[in-house]
Structures are given as structure tokens and as C-alpha cells.
Amino acid sequence: MKYRSTRGSPKLLSFSEAVLVGLAEDGGLFIPTNIPSLPENWRKDWSDLTFNSLALEIFSLYIPTEEISREELKQLIDNSYSKFNSNDITPLKKIRENLYILELFHGPTFAFKDVALQFLGNLFEYLLEKKNKEKKEKEKITILGATSGDTGSAAIYGLRGKKNISVFILHPRGKVSPVQEAQMTTVLDKNIHNLAVEGTFDDCQDIVKNLFADRSFNEKHHLGAINSINWARILAQIVYYYHSYFQILSSLNITAESKELKGIYFQYCVPTGNFGDILAGYYAKKMGLPISKLVVSTNSNDILDRFFKSGRYERSKGENGLIVKETLSPAMDIAISSNFERLLWYLAYENISKKDEGKRERSEEEKVKEASNIIKEWMQDVKINKSLVVEKSILDIALCDFKSERVSDQETLDTICKYYAPENKDQNSYIFDPHTAIGVTAADRQNTSPNTYQICLATAHPAKFSQAVEKALENFKEFKFESILPKEFIGLLEREKKVIFVERAEPSSVKQTIENELDIE
Ligand SMILES: *Cc1c(COP(=O)(O)O)cnc(C)c1O
């Protein structure tokens, strides 16, 4: 198994190389040369596996043992999920008939990004260590990233204390929520550096891009990225689609081999921003997991919802010149979706294969080349015209696997209320975070039959987004926010902090700060 760029560079990379470099040289994203299919007896053999054992089976399909032995991979997985506060790692809760919540927030920062970043942190350390084995002069890397909240804290918790890795995370000073700010800055490990930049999130992101493009700086410090396009993050997220499938079957008392499964449908609703979480569901489905549909659920930053409704992928013109709207679900406030290029590649490829039907079929190599050429053109369109349009046959292919919904802030609040105080008295009360509430709103809109089971991915713990939750529940006098606070959050804001202020939002100031810190470290 090798990895290729979506934009057609002929160079194929190993798994380790693709993980360490993150983005392909030609600006494309890495995809596996083929999507592996499942072992013949997976329904039986995997049905009782723990999350970790399932991860081992799934990762093994994408990582050759010559690169990481099975033993070592198992060790990496076990380390990565040892800090989760649930034995199931990603437990599944039934909320009402046919509706389940897949809780992805049991990691150290209480958001779904931990599932991938805990693994990625260990993987980085392992791959570096291996590279350094024969070297006198140890190679070090400097991870650099900008965050508006969730990614930064999950990356910091994934990389704290890791050997030969220094981490610099930029956040806009005073513009991330107090809990998120404290989650990042109370990590005191020597290799972790929080930079509070006097500016906006976009300023932070621009500075990061600028430093990555700065050849000599980049080469000197071996810059590395942890953003959501890293292939290892997608891979790690495939596991919970399988895990939840087996959990549902077990709660329904049927096995994956049972004939009763015919006529039963499984639909996953995924709160979506950069398209990483739901893309993992797409891979799960293409490998052979019987998912009927994946429901892309966006907030009012709805570029993806508009695509699935029209075939047009177009940056929003925005009000007041603002491209990204601020919503109650900030982790999904995006202008374009960085992982979407991967799906577009598969859509282009399938469309080419379809057109070939009944004619002389082109070779695999020719089809891959053509799909990559199409992607290059589309990405050029997005860059220059801020939009791309696909033909109907391509949209039809997308709609075989996906549906989409757009959810407003008001609907998000209504959903939090509705499930906190359900009308049906037999139904348990459940408090959603605003991101999760978007997926649940999308699920509630589906006119599904009694044979359809919907699984909503819960991407954050409600205590992380107090503003939205308190606003939604302000009329319930008995509701006390403190009652949902995890013990880890108590006293968090008062704890000792380590943060460096950067007064000018300029690449040169940040560069200077990084070099000073690396000298001391
Ligand atoms: C990052 C994030 C999302 C969006 O996930 P994508 O993979 O970017 O689509 C949703 N909810 C929360 C809480 C997040 O942190």
C-alpha cells in the first residue's frame, strides 16, 4: 500500500512519508493507491473486538507491516487510547427509538479530535525515533499550527512531552473561549509553546502559511503540520464507524451475519466543517461497511450543503465582506473544506469509470491520471474563480453516498432544548453541545422508516461550549451548568498558565519568538 497525491504527482509515498510530510509537493492531498476491502470473515471475526483491537485490524489494512510491525502498531494504539475516560473509547448511547449518539468526546480535551490526534502524536514520535536510530545528529521537528480552539488543544495534548518534537500553536488573543484558552495554556510541558497573537484567527493562519512558505526557516526547523488533512487523522477516525456498527447490532441482538440485516439501514449524521470526520465514514463505507447514507450537517457556513444541493462548490460572498460567519458552533466555521478535495478525486474517478462502461475501458493508470488532471483544474477554478461546478453525473455519484442539511443557530438551540426536556416522558434527558446538536437536527429532519437506525456523531462535550448550552437552557431554572462540568474543568481557569504574547501579528515577530523559545528549550 502506497499513497499518491490527488493532483497527479507521479511520486508514490510510503505511509510513514505521507504522515510526516502531510501535504503533497504538488499541493494535493494523499490518498491510498487503493481502498482496501475487508477480510472475508470480518462480520464474524470483528464483531466482539474492542475499540483498540478493531483499530489494529483496520490500520493494518493501510499500513504495511514492513513499515510498522503489528506488535509496534498495537503498542502505539494502546498508548493512544489509554487516556480516554470510557472503556469503550467511543461509547454509543441510545436516545430514543432508532436514534443513537456516538460519543467521541471521552479523550483528554473532550472533543472528537482527540481520537485522531492522540494517535498522531505517538505516531510522529515513533517515526522520528526510527529515523533517528542510526543518526548521530538527532532530527527534530517543529510543529506549527494556528487554532481557533479545538484543534490546538487536541494537538497540544497529543504532542506534550514527545521526544524531539517542539510545538508552537498560535491563537488569536482573547478570541478563543476561556475554557479552550485554558486547556491550551495550562499545559506546562517544555516542548509546548502557546503564542497568543494580537489579531484574528485569519492573521494567525496567514502567519503560519507564511512561515511554511519561508524556505530557509522551514528547512532549518523542519516544520511539520497537524492540520486535518493529515492522512493518519482520517485513518484513525474510520475505526469508530465500525465500532458503532457492531455496538448497535449488539444492542439489537443481531449479528452482522444475520439475514435479518436485509432491509435494515444505517445512516450516520456528522457535524461537518473541514470534511475530515465524515470522509472517514466514506472510507468506512467504501471498504464495505453497510452504511446507507452519510448526512453532511453544516451550520450556516454551508459551502458543502450548497454543493450537495447544486453541484456548485462556491465560496460564500458573505455579508460585510466577512467570508466566514460566526456561529454557535465555531469548530465548523469554515470558508472552504480542506478535506473535500479527497472526495472530489473519488467522484471524478468513478465518473470516468462510468463513462467507460460499454466502451474500451481505460487502464487503471490512465483513469488515475485523468482524475488527477480534473482535480487540478477544479482546484485552479476554486483558487481563481472561488468556485467549481461539477456535471450532473458527478453529483449523482455523490448522492449515492451522501445527503446534506444546513442548520441555523436558532435550530441548534431548539434542538438542545428539545432533548434536554423531551416531551415523551419515557425518553431520557440528554444535553448536546452545539456541534452535536447540528447533526441531531439533521437526523430529526430525515423522514426515515422504522427500519432505519440513525447514528449522530457527538463531536464535543457540552461543557466545552458553555455559551450556547447556557443560552439554549436559560429558561430552565433548575439547570445548573456546573452539573455537567467534568472534574477536569473544575479550577481549570485558575491554574498556572504558560503563554507568550505576540504583540504584532506579523510573521517576523512570530519567527523571532519561535527562535528564542527553541534556544531556551
Ligand atoms: C473539528 C470539529 C468539527 C468538524 O469536523 P471536520 O472533520 O472538520 O468536519 C465538528 N465539531 C467539533 C466539536 C470539532 O472540533
Q: What is the mean pLDDT of residues 428-448?
A: 96
Cα 459 to ligand 1 centroid, rounded to whole Å: 7
* Candidate from 71-80, 313-322, 380-389 with smallest mean pLDDT: 313-322
CA distances from 6 to 315, 319, 351 (A): 21, 33, 15
Asked if residue 251 is part of any domain, the answer here is: yes
Per-residue pLDDT band for 334 (boundaries 50, 70, 90) equals confident
The predicted structure's pLDDT at residue 205: 87
Q: Give the C-alpha separation, 10 to 373, whole Å.
A: 12
Q: What's the domain range around 245? A: 232-464
Atom nearest to 149 CA in ligand 1: 15
Could you count the other beta carbons within 10 Å of the beta carbon of residue 501?
Answer: 11
The model's pLDDT over 418-428, given as tens digits with 9 standing for 90+, comes to: 999 999 888 88
For residue 258, give the CATH number of its domain: 3.40.50.1100
Q: Which 3 state secondary structure label does DSSP give 194?
A: strand
Task: Tell whether 442 is covered by a domain.
Answer: yes
| CA-derived radius of gyration, the chain | 23
322 is a domain residue: yes
Atom number in ligand 1 closest to CA 105: 13
Instruction: Using the mean position of ligand 1's atoms as its centre, give its distance from the Cα of residue 333 in Å.
Output: 9
Q: Atom 8 (ligand 1): residue with closest C-alpha?
A: 274
Give 246's pLDDT tier (boundaries 50, 70, 90).
very high
Q: Name which residue leads in pLDDT, 521 or 215.
A: 215
Helix or strand run (H / E) with residue 99: strand 99-103
Q: What is the pLDDT of residue 136?
A: 85
Tell me, yes or no, whether 520 lies in a domain: no
How far is 368 from 76, CA to CA, in rounded Å?
A: 33
**Confidence at residue 518, expressed as pLDDT on a 0 to 100 scale:** 95
In a domain, 238, yes or no: yes
Identify the band that residue 144 occupies on the pLDDT scale cut at 50, 70 and 90.
Answer: very high
Ligand 1 centre from 254 Cα, in Å? 32
Q: Given the residues 11, 93, 113, 471, select the one marked as catalytic.
A: 113
How far away, in angstroms, is 365 Cα from ligand 1 center? 34
Q: Confidence band (pLDDT; 50, 70, 90) for 431?
A: very high
With the most atoms of ligand 1 within 8 angstroms of its CB, the residue from 459, 461, 464 to mutate is 459
> How far away, in angstroms, is 340 Cα from ligand 1 center?
14
For residue 352, tell me if it sits in a domain: yes
Q: So what's the pLDDT on residue 360?
A: 83
User: Percentage of residues in the chain with pLDDT exceeding 90?
Assistant: 83
For the chain, the average pLDDT equals 94
Please report the pLDDT score of residue 336 as a whole number.
87
Percentage of the chain modeled with pLDDT above 70: 99
Q: Is 113 part of the annotated catalytic residue set?
A: yes
Query: Of the residues 106, 150, 183, 407, which should be mutated to test ligand 1's pocket, given the most ligand atoms within 8 Å of the CB?
Result: 150
Q: Which residues line ligand 1 (CB under 6 A)?
A: 111, 113, 150, 228, 271-277, 331-332, 435, 459-460
- The per-residue pLDDT for 323 is 77
Segment 489-518 mean pLDDT: 96
Q: Which pLDDT does position 225 carry in this prediction?
A: 85
The torsion angles phi and psi of 129, rounded to 5 degrees, stand at -55, -40
With beta carbons less than 8 A apart as the criterion, state whether 429 and 420 touch.
yes
Whether the predicted pLDDT of 412 surpasses 60: yes
- When mean pLDDT is compared across 152-156, 304-308, 383-387, 416-420, the lowest value belongs to 383-387
DSSP assignment of 416-481: HHHHHS-SSTTSPP----HHHHHHHHHHHH----TTEEEEEEE-B-GGGGHHHHHHHTTT-TT--G
**Residues 6+ away with beta carbon under 8 Å from 243:** 51, 54, 88, 89, 90
From the alpha carbon of 334, which atom of ligand 1 is closest? Answer: 8
Q: Tell whether the model's pLDDT for residue 36 goes beyond 90.
A: yes
pLDDT at 320 over 70: no
At 82-110, the pLDDT tens digits run: 999 999 999 999 999 999 999 999 999 99
Asked if residue 101 is part of any domain, the answer here is no
Q: What is the pTM of this model?
A: 0.96
Query: Candidates 101, 113, 180, 283: which one to mutate for ligand 1, based on the most atoms within 8 Å of Cβ?
Result: 113
For the residues 462-467, what does the mean pLDDT come to? 92
pLDDT at 489 over 70: yes
| 466-470 mean pLDDT | 93
Residue of 274, 402, 432, 465 best suited for mutating to test ligand 1, as the one with most atoms within 8 Å of CB: 274
- Residue 470's pLDDT is 95
Which atom of ligand 1 is the closest one to the Cα of 150? 15
pLDDT at 319 over 70: no
Query: Is 261 among the domain residues?
Result: yes
pLDDT at 318: 61
pLDDT-derived band at 316 (thresholds 50, 70, 90) equals confident
pLDDT of residue 358: 81
Distance 331 CA to ligand 1 centre (A): 5
- E strand or H helix that includes residue 352: helix 340-356
Residue range 496-503: mean pLDDT, rounded: 97
Q: If you measure from the C-alpha of residue 17 to the centroid of ligand 1, how many angstroms do you get, rounded to a whole number?
A: 25
Q: How many structural domains is the chain composed of?
A: 1
